[in-house]
Copies of this chain bind each other. A is one copy, B any other.
Amino acid sequence: MPEAIPVDGATAEHVLEHLRHRGARVTTARRAIVEAMVNAQGHRTADEIAAAIHDAYPSINRSTVYRNLEELERLGVLVHAHLGHGAATYHLAANAHSHLVCERCGVALSVPTELFSELSTTMLAQYGFTIDPLHFSVLGICAPCRSTDAP
């Protein structure tokens, strides 16, 4: 049975301790990335993370960020979602949520994953398919954009 995933409110140090217990090394890059994610109020793309840590750690390379995001996801600390066009977005697994993305203005709304429980049941019953609402985004038109539509 795997180590418990850090819960809401976990500090960067808690997450790093989790890594240590899993046998992964705690490096400057990982510390920087985890801090950036803990500080991020919501989700961030790989590039945004690289930019955010560039002030404090200018030498950390973008490829290191990508490699560590992948590793941190495999260790259960992070999850990522595809927003349709453009870059994937990452957030703490403890802070899991689904996304609604506006096709017109690009805004990404965070919504609780429970909203998909019914769809989940239907897809499983009819197709034997287990949906993963954290991994994809629902595209459509947000309320403000809809209201400025042509009549």
Q: Which residues of A contact B (CB under 8 A)?
A: 82, 84-85, 100, 102-103, 109, 111, 115-116, 118-119, 122-123, 126-132, 135-143, 146
Contact = CB atoms under 8 A, between A and B. Distances in A.
12 contacts: A82-B82, A84-B136, A109-B127, A111-B126, A111-B127, A115-B123, A116-B119, A118-B119, A129-B142, A130-B141, A132-B141, A135-B139
B116 A128 contact: no
B138 A136 contact: yes
A101 to B, nearest CB: 8
A137 B140 contact: no
A26 to B, nearest CB: 28
Contacts of A139: 82, 131-132, 135-136
Contact of A109 (B102, B129, B132, B135): B129
A150 to B, nearest CB: 12
B128 A142 contact: yes
Given A119-B118, A123-B100, A123-B115, A140 B130 contact: yes
Given A116-B119, A136-B139, A139-B135, A128 B111 contact: no
A103 B129 CA distance: 11
